[in-house]
Amino acid sequence: MEQQTIIRATAFEDADLIREAAALTREFSKAKPGIYWPDLLASALLGYAGLYLAITGMSLAVQLIGATVAIVLLYRSASFIHEITHMKRDHVPGFRWAWNALVGIPMMIPSFVYEDTHNQHHSKMRYGTARDPEYLPLALMKPYMLVLFLAIALFGSVGFLLRFAIFSPLSVISSWIRRETVARFSTLAINPAYRRPLPTGQFRRDWIIMETGASLWSIGLIAGVAMGWIALKAFLIYLGVVSAAFALNQLRTLVAHLWENNGDVLSVTEQYLDSVNVPPPGPIAEFWAPVGLRYHALHHLVPSVPYHSLPEVHRRLAAKFGDGSNYAKANYPNLRGLIIRLVGSSIRGGKTA
């Protein structure tokens, strides 16, 4: 507590920026079903159509086109898990369960792996500390850690497949396996020290439903391949597309923050400045940071604002505060520059293995 008191005394806050962000939150906090549903349904259906072409295409060119479409659009579909974590249930009724049925379970990331824990990343006293499940000081680590960080995602589909096909059934008969499975293998976390507590209440009941669905899906896939009902080639293409989508998200995560905080408790403004926006005019960011994720720093200012309102909130804040402001300092032009900056920081300051 003494260290935190010292940190709070030296932290700075841009009161004008926080005040304006709060006002815009009140104006733009309502999620619009007329945007959420068409976006999700079109992204998922076209993504699965691409997966079908990747599996059944008559030529390599068609398969590659299908795989590319599947990776990009299923990644976009999966990114709605972030919106689900923040949205009020009554704003878009049924969306959470529909997303789990269409995307979460087929891609083996039911929403419970992000719900509840992601909000800890937004906690004023947790962000960037050892208690934050979604933070590592990557800019202060050795460069090989950046490579390892990206490489892990390539095995994501296999990891989740085994988690739900093996550990879910075993956890029914062993309380120890259950505790360990929940603590270590049930969260989209990047902090290896994070341990998740057992769920309680209504969330526990929802968790069980989602986990049962994901477990049956995973067991069905493995059994289908073993029995010859699912072609091994089709199964491997499916795993490859899911892993590629995970890897694309991991690349986005790599530049979502500057990762320069080494455990200090930061003010909201400092959290914002440690985070990254990649706003227009560059169009490419919409593919690697979809569903509002290109405004990740802004999201840390206004976490309850839905993705479809973030462009307008950004325009208003940029116009009000202008170049040279604290708001402008979190805006970056492209992915390449962010990667170069992170690698440079790692080479200069990497001290942690």
> How does residue 263 score in pLDDT terms, banded at 50, 70 and 90?
confident
How far apart CA 107 and CA 244 sit, in angstroms, is: 12
pLDDT confidence tier of residue 136, bands split at 50, 70 and 90: very high
Q: Is residue 282 part of a domain?
A: no
Task: Report if residue 4 sits inside a domain.
Answer: no
350 pLDDT band, cuts 50/70/90, is: low
Confidence of residue 140 (pLDDT cuts 50, 70, 90): very high
Please state the rounded mean pLDDT for residues 306-311. Answer: 97
Distance, CA of 288 to CA of 71 (rounded, Å)? 11
24-36 pLDDT per residue, tens: 999 999 999 999 9
Q: Is the residue at 54 inside a domain?
A: yes
Which structural domain, as residue segments, surrounds residue 180? 33-254
Q: State the DSSP code for 143.
A: H
Residue holding tokens 């892990």?
A: 152
Taking all residues of the chain, what is their mean pLDDT, rounded to a whole number? Answer: 93
Pick from 61, 115, 118, 80: nearest CA to 245: 80
The answer to whether position 83 is within a domain reads yes
Q: Give the residue-averaged pLDDT of 275-285.
A: 93
Question: What pLDDT score was predicted for residue 124?
Answer: 86
Percentage of the chain with pLDDT > 90?
A: 89
Is residue 142 within 8 A of residue 352, CB to CB? The reply is yes
Residue 10 has pLDDT above 70, yes or no: no
Q: Evaluate whether residue 339 is within a structural domain.
A: no
- Whether the predicted pLDDT of 7 surpasses 80: no
The pLDDT assigned to 353 comes to: 38
User: CA 256 to CA 28: how far, in whole Å?
Assistant: 23
In a domain, residue 158? The reply is: yes
Q: What is the pLDDT of residue 47?
A: 98
The yes-or-no verdict on residue 91 having pLDDT over 60 is yes
Task: Average the pLDDT over 53-68 and give the result.
Answer: 96
pLDDT at 1 over 50: no
Q: What is the mean pLDDT of residues 48-56?
A: 97
Q: What radius of gyration do the chain's Cα atoms show?
A: 21
Return the pLDDT at 335: 94
- pLDDT value of position 11: 59
Rounded average pLDDT over 248-252: 96
Question: What is the pLDDT averaged over residues 212-221?
Answer: 98
Q: Report how far residue 213's alpha carbon sits from residue 341's, in angstroms, rounded to the nearest whole number.
A: 42
Per-residue pLDDT averaged across 101-110, rounded? 98
Average pLDDT, integer, range 97-118:
97
- Given a contact cutoff of 8 angstroms between Cβ atoms, the answer to whether 95 and 40 are in contact is yes
316-348 pLDDT, tens digit per residue, is: 999 999 999 999 999 999 999 999 999 999 998
Note whether residue 226 is domain-resident: yes
What confidence score (pLDDT) does residue 245 get?
97
pTM surpassing 0.85? yes
CB 77 within 8 Å of CB 44 = yes
In a domain, 188, yes or no: yes
Per-residue pLDDT at 9 exceeds 70: no
Number of domains in the chain: 1
Mean pLDDT in residue range 257-277: 93
